Amino acid sequence: MSYSKMAIVLLQAAKAEEGDLIEVTSDGRTYQGILMPHHEFSGEDVIVIKQKSGYNIGVRLKMGATIKVLAKKEEKVKPSRHFVMDPALRTVSVLGTGGTIASFVDYRTGAVHPALSADDLISAVPEISEICNVKAKVLFSIFSENMDPEAWRAIARAVFNELKDGSDAVIIPHGTDTLAYTSAALSFMLEGLDRPVVLVGAQRSSDRPSSDSYTNLISAARFCIETAMPGVYVLMHGSISDTTAFVHKGTRVRKMHSSRRDAFKSINDSPVATVFFDGKIEVRHAPSVKGGGLVLKDSIERSVVLLQFYPGMDPAAFKQLMLSHKGVVIAGSGLGHVSSAMVNVLGEVVSKGVPVFMTTQCLGGSVNLNVYATGRDLINAGVVPLGDMLPETATVKLMWALGQTSSPEAVRELMTTDLRGEMSQRRGIDG
């Protein structure tokens, strides 16, 4: 949507351009800020400015409104800053995939841009150069909802190559919405890890005062260098305050809030470590390192469907959907239940050679099909319970398992075996 005629006249009369510091008076109120680009979701009589606080606001121009330019935008050329490797420091590869986490702010226009190189990253987070050497590259820059199994494979291959080339750790800036799917995929694809691979995101963009991108990146670098804990992890804020970051196991983590900075939680487990922003790191439980060396197992079968049971679910409507896939994960109610009608259809699906696995939509706790009659009926129908594995992790693991073998028995064995800490027989009172 373009500006209204009145807005155009006012902006032209003031000779205001994007990036200028302007003062807008409308309806008796005055605002100051950097003039931002007008986008399609703004009203035609609304101009957007970035205030000193870092937040954008829209100002509706009413009759009698005025615009005054306080300062013209500065045509600055970004200084060239070449990052020199320090032989005394260990090296961390940073693989950009998208999201706001590895972005920097162009304070001339207020726009946020991705950090495309090690130099960009050092400029945005200069303290990281005191912790480690940085090798940075952008694999792609996409919203995390557009991630798919092929993207997971590309990330896994890139991580594998960076570690084979000698990096001491890999940090992956990633959009938060589907971050847990990617962390699960990397956990299964990268076998025999002996160094840390940390996915890190941000709930607030770097142009906002409450941004968590800086502290999360620094914390990820510190965790990698100071602990060298092998495995795939997710690091995000541990509370709404700037005090701690939690390190979560890649197969046990879930985004549990749409916007809070501490949105990510370990489910049926506790964080493996806490990184305090004042410098301390507490490791709660370190994984054991299995021998054999790093192996890339990135074959994957994307023909898997995840279904959440709900009251009134029409089995007939989902039967063909399940039969058109090579594997099914159900998020059942409670201990892993579905309706009696759904049990019959699941039995038919299993009889056609499509494996069906049961998780619980409760998230906390475990599937147990031995308590009620419905559960025993599901067992008789051939549905396989997956204990306390998260539905999303189970979905990714099934894609991966089907990519490793075509044997139904082998797929079942893989799915019911704890490979990367994704399931457990016992849990603590806080897990």
Contacts within 8 Å (CB) and 24+ apart, 262-266:
262/236, 262/237, 262/238, 263/176, 263/203, 263/236, 264/176, 264/179, 264/180, 264/234, 264/236, 264/237, 266/431
Cβ atoms of residues 214 and 187 within 8 Å: no
Q: Which residue out of 50, 73, 135, 255 is catalytically annotated?
A: 255
Cβ atoms of residues 213 and 204 within 8 Å: yes
**Beta pairing class for 190-191 and 295-296:** antiparallel
Q: Which residue out of 20, 50, 91, 100 is catalytically annotated?
A: 100
What are the strands, taking DSSP E only, across 108-215? 111-114, 133-138, 169-173, 190-191, 196-200
Q: Please, is 47 exposed, middle or buried when counting C-beta atoms within 10 Å of its C-beta (0-12, 13-18, 19+)?
A: buried
Catalytic residue check, 177: yes
Structure tokens at 238: 């541990």
Of 177, 42, 26, 17, the closest CA to residue 110 belongs to 17
Which residue's structure tokens are 């028995």?
409
Cβ atoms of residues 168 and 90 within 8 Å: yes
Q: Which residue out of 91, 97, 109, 176 is catalytically annotated?
A: 176
Whole-angstrom distance, CA of residue 98 vs CA of residue 86: 28
The radius of gyration of the chain from alpha carbons, rounded to an integer in Å, stands at: 25
The H-assigned helical ranges of 165-205 are 179-189
What SS3 state is found at 290?
Answer: coil
Structure tokens at 304: 């898997």
Q: Please, is 230 exposed, middle or buried when counting C-beta atoms within 10 Å of its C-beta (0-12, 13-18, 19+)?
A: buried
Cβ atoms of residues 58 and 71 within 8 Å: no
Whole-angstrom distance, CA of residue 428 vs CA of residue 217: 30
Catalytic residue check, 359: no
Catalytic residue check, 68: no
Catalytic residue check, 100: yes
Q: Which residue out of 25, 106, 119, 177 is catalytically annotated?
A: 177
All residues at 6 or more sequence positions from 247 whose CB lies less than 8 Å from its CB, including other chains: 198, 223, 233, 234, 235, 271, 272, 273, 274, 275
Which residues does the annotation mark as catalytic? 100, 176-177, 255
